[in-house]
Structure 1
Amino acid sequence: MEDAATPVSAQKQAASPRRAPGQQRSRERVERMLAAASALIAEQGSDAMRMGEVAERAGVSIGSLYQFFPDKRAIIWALAERYTAESQSCISAALAGISDAEGLQSAFSELVDIYYRLFLAEPVIRDI
């Protein structure tokens, strides 16, 4: 999806949300937008997802959606960042307290199984 010649920092900047929600109501609205986008991606893939569909499904105006996300790439980036954060947390928890090679091998095997189940269960992850 991303241009291999474009540095990751430039890609992130181009895909970053316009602004972060400050108030609880705004955070809830953004969560609805991301949930709507996630459902649409699961149903039809990210290429077919349209900003208008996201706004409609989230129950917000298109202007409100654009207030937080300049384009669908920004939405996809936000979802990818969320899954990355969850993955990092899972890895940290699995590796906590590992003190030998046997423990590392066991943790690694468990992580592979977890990621495989997550990959099968979450169509959005497969798409993005």
Structure 2
Amino acid sequence: MDERTAAKPDQAVVGSPRRSPSQQRSRERVERMLAAASALIAERGSDAMRMGEVAERAGVSIGSLYQFFPDKRAIIWALAERYTAESQACISAALKDVRDVEGF
């Protein structure tokens, strides 16, 4: 492994949000940010998404966006966690009555 592919010590925190919203107004703002990012990713892909575009589409300042998400990876990570949780809930609901292979 060379230095470009070596694991970085802070890699575990890369992609995680800076802080979680505690007030309802902040939670709504974060929801707008994530919805804006999701729409931009759907339109043009994650590589083309820019933090300024997310802030503009969400109707928040760039500072407000960075207050919750330090970088683009953090937004993508939050969306991935959300979609994973939704998928798991959907699968669990669909399989809640399955007790054995025959019931599957």
TM range (shorter): 0.7 to 0.9
1:88 matched to 2:97? The reply is no
1:102 positional shift: 2.4
Equivalent residue for 2:37?
Answer: 37
Equivalent residue for 1:59?
Answer: 59
**Amino acid across the alignment from 1:69:** F
1:72 matched to 2:75? The reply is no
**Amino acid across the alignment from 1:37:** A
Query: In structure 1, the residue corresponding to 2:102 is in which secondary structure?
Result: helix
The structure-2 alpha-carbon separation of the partners of 1:13 and 1:101, relative to structure 1 and needing over 3 Å to count, comes to same
**Amino acid across the alignment from 1:23:** Q
Instruction: Measure, in 2, the Cα distance between the counterparts of 1:5 and 1:99.
Output: 45
- Percent identity between matched residues is 83
Query: In structure 2, the residue corresponding to 1:102 is in which secondary structure?
Result: coil
Query: In structure 1, the residue corresponding to 2:103 is in which secondary structure?
Result: helix
- TM-score (normalised: structure 2): 0.87
Show structure 2 runs of 5+ residues with no match. none
1:96 positional shift: 1.0
The structure-2 alpha-carbon separation of the partners of 1:23 and 1:47, relative to structure 1 and needing over 3 Å to count, comes to same
List, as ranges, runs of 4+ consecutive aligned residues in structure 1 with deviation greater than 2 Å.
none
Show structure 1 runs of 5+ residues with no match. 105-128
1:11 positional shift: 4.8
The structure-2 alpha-carbon separation of the partners of 1:48 and 1:24, relative to structure 1 and needing over 3 Å to count, comes to same
